[in-house]
Structure 1
Amino acid sequence: MPPAVPRFGVNYTPSEGWFHHWLDFDLDSVRADLDSIAALGLDHIRVFPLWPYFQPDRTLIRPRAVEQLVALADAAAERGLDVNVDGLQGHLSSFDFLPAWTRTWHRRNLFTDPDVVEGEAAYLRTLASALADRPNFIGMTVGNEVNQFASGPHPDPDRVTEEGAERWLTRLLDACAEGAPGRTHLHASYDAAWYQDDQPFTPAHSARLGDVTAVHSWVFNGTAQRHGRTALQTEQHAAYLVELSKAWADRPHRPVWLQEVGAPAPLIPAEHAAAFAEATITAVLDCPDLWGVTWWCSHDVSRGLADFPELEYGLGVFTNDRKPKEIAHVLAAARPRIPRERGTALVVPADPARRSACAPGGPVYDAYFRLAADGARPTTVLDTRATDRDHLVARGITEVVHPDQVLPTPQGGTRS
């Protein structure tokens, strides 16, 4: 079940050294960052060890690095902040961080090579075990958007089948649970899992494996380009992903965590970031079964660091010198609300080879926002469950509609 009230937090990006801070770990600097986060009244952070720094050899998980991670978690606890830890980093802010024992001369598939998978499992188990007795440890996320390694547009993907992706996720989630039994362990995909027909990490994987469904909502995926910064489709994209995920869940009230959402410039200009955040959070808080919202990110990337995409330098709710922006005050003012069940369900294809229907510009996406514009509060249901009365009743669904019942006909006719 989701928490009694949604959680509010940020993805922690250190103000000094970005995630390279693990190479020159300064606990005082971390404490100062956490002080700024705690001052907003937030309750958790998501933390990113960089995988090659923590496990530079398949059989070497650096004890000192693990100690530093625990020290960070303890510093967060002192400030009333709970901690979720992403293990396999993986991919962050356009950069890939993969250990040398998986690349070039040692090229081995991240998802299918038995030795690599057991090395990954050992790493996740070690991190989870180190934090298992910390009361403020939420649990592990297997990694950050690891599905981007499995398919295009990645320039050098590690190919895996849908079945292989499920085996891999199950093995690594089990490793997290072995290290820290009873905690909340999950995995996280970027939105290709929901939108890209040939992506081997599927909506069913996201909605059925692990303890919570994670969605990452970025409007630079064609949403803001197509509709503009103030459009319903842009301001409610996160809510759409939350409700889309529920179609595939086996549990009627499985929690959904909006684990990443941010205001990317220039599509969302800096002077409009706070308004975008307020609209996004207001919309998503109207979704039942919301675990929480974790904004990307805490602190800006320093301009002293090179080669980041331009948008990455300004995504923080704090400047690089820890000064709060207007968007920080929006997060501080966010308050839970009690959402009503969503009785109207839009039918979506269960076949993952047809999931592009749900992507920006697809018929499911367009129909959802037509309903929302008309004042409805839609959710989604799989075509294979659309007549399953027990399933509909369990979810509080009283009306089922198909996209072609919502959208105009190709000849420009009206809704039926």
Structure 2
Amino acid sequence: MRFGVNYTPSEGWFHHWLDFDLDSVRADLDSVAALGLDHIRVFPLWPYFQPNRTLIRPRAVEQLRSLAVAAGERGLDVNVDGLQGHLSSFDFLPAWTRTWHRRNLFTDPDILHAQAAYLRTLAAALADLPNFLGMTLGNEVNQFSAGPHPDPDRATGDQIDTWLERMLAACEEGAPGRLHLHAEYDATWYQDDMPFLPAQAARRGAVTAVHSWVFNGTAQRHGRASVPAEHHAAYLVELSKAWAEDPHRPVWLQEVGAPAPLVPAEHAAAFTEATVRNALDCPDLWGITWWCSHDVSRQLADFPELEYGLGLLTNERKPKDTALALARAAAAAAPAPAARTTALVVPADPARRSACAPGGPVYDAFFRLTADGARPTTVLDTRAADRAHLARRGITEVVPPDQVLPTPQGGTRS
């Protein structure tokens, strides 16, 4: 089991690449390593690293490598996200993709060639480092492909599949044999018209990545201490397994955090403990990577209010109660979870994904089962009668959502 953190620099946020200070980075990494974590996820900003379609700045790539080396010196492995892309409500896209040079991020041949070259270059620069885990294509790049983005780059599911295949191949060319993957926000699992599909998330790349945020309607509907809020990350882990072809495909809980004010600061540690405990009860979990390492400085303007305080550590690198909760989990020897033998049926049709979203019948049924003490997983309706598939996954009971009755607790932990 891996425990890590998404690295947000304490000085300058991700704009630190413009004024890169290795001593400051080392101090940040010291504060992360002191928590007993074993990896970080790193975010080069795409426009800073590839400001022109045919220019990948060597100095920026050298700085990324120096960060990875510093992490290795502190016992931290490194995953690198390439196409940033989108972070904390801000879009960071190169000028050669927008306005006067507007071209589709997922279908334009010149853009695809440049993206592949960029990902290949970053991967190759780190390929010889023993602590380099691999590449993530980018952070939640699916948000560029559909609404509610105000200016989406529309694409079909087939076009996205071609894009994923080409970009993952570029990462593999740069660093063969490493853990290369892609990662989307939960619209992939919940939004009917999202062209990034659940089957792609569960089959493309070395592992399945899920990002769990209870501000998606979960905490608003049910409260911070509810079964749905405290088990939302576990739900996404188990939901992803319905589409996987490998019955033991690893799932990485790559982003999860305690967003205020839905989770007030005084309750964040308890939320962290519950979320981690419930995620650890999911078989085949690769690891948990908390969002995020350090707070966003109040000197930086225009972030959504919740973004400023999500760090495990303050800008002065002091650990919060959430950091100590995660550190305790990382230090403990968690037993291997038993197989989940009850499977909730979910629609295979991606145009019916909203059934799995907050308020949908699959979502509600999952948490009713959980509140009743069950440990459910999921299975596609097209596989629900496939005895061989069920046996490979250890499933002995298949339950349609409409057969799960409401519990007396209403899905809320007493």
Smaller-chain TM-score bracket: over 0.9
Q: Distance in 2 between matches of 1:74 and 1:124?
A: 19
Q: Which residue of 2 aligns with 1:299?
A: 294
Query: 1:49 is aligned with what amino acid?
Result: P
Contact 1:190 1:215 in 2 (8 A): yes
TM-score by length of 1: 0.97
Amino acid at match of 2:148: P
The aligned counterpart of 1:3 is: none
- The alignment partner of 2:402 has SS state of helix
- Alignment match, 1:26: 21
Find the counterpart in structure 2 of residue 136 from structure 1. 131
Displaced runs of 4+ in structure 1, greater than 2 A?
Answer: none
Q: Give the percent of matched residue pairs that are identical in Structure 1 and Structure 2.
A: 81
Match of 1:138, as an amino acid? L
Distance 2:11 2:24 in 1: 7
The aligned length equals 404
Q: Separation in 2 of the partners of 1:75 and 1:28?
A: 10
Aligned to 2:198: 203
Contact 1:11–1:294 (CA under 8 A) maintained in structure 2: yes
Partner of 1:185: 180
Aligned counterpart, 1:273: 268
Name 1:224's counterpart in structure 2: 219
Structure 1 Cα separation of the partners of residues 406 and 375 of structure 2: 19
Q: 8 Å contact 2:368–2:406 — kept in the other structure?
A: no
Does residue 235 of structure 2 align to residue 240 of structure 1? yes
Q: Which residue of 2 is the match for residue 363 of structure 1?
A: 361
Q: Which amino acid aligns with 1:357?
A: A
Kindly report which structure 2 residues correspond to 1:10-409, keeping only aligned pairs within 5 A, or say none: 10-334=5-329, 335=332, 336-407=334-405
User: Contact between 1:366 and 1:407, CA under 8 Å: does it hold in 2?
Assistant: no
The alpha-carbon deviation at position 274 of structure 1 amounts to 0.5
1:407 positional shift: 3.2
Shift of 1:338: 1.1
**Given residue 391 of structure 1, which amino acid in structure 2 is its aligned partner?**
H
The one-letter code of the counterpart of 1:231 is S
Whichever residue aligns with residue 110 of structure 1, its letter is L
- CA-CA distance at 1:166 after TM superposition: 0.5
Cα distance in 2 between the residues matched to 1:376 and 1:104: 52
The letter for the 2-side match of 1:244 is: L
Distance 1:408 1:332 in 2: 36
CA distance in 2, matches of 1:179, 1:395: 34
TM norm structure 2: 0.97
Q: Is the 8 A contact 2:180 2:205 kept in 1?
A: yes
Measure the CA separation in 1 of the matches of 2:14 and 2:76: 19
Cross-structure match for 2:412: none
| Deviation per residue, 1:186-221 (Å, 9 max, x gap) | 000000000000000011110000000000000000
Q: Distance in 2 between matches of 1:376 and 1:312?
A: 34
Structure 1, unmatched stretches of 5+, are 1-5, 410-416
- Cα distance in 1, alignment partners of residues 73 and 314 from structure 2: 23
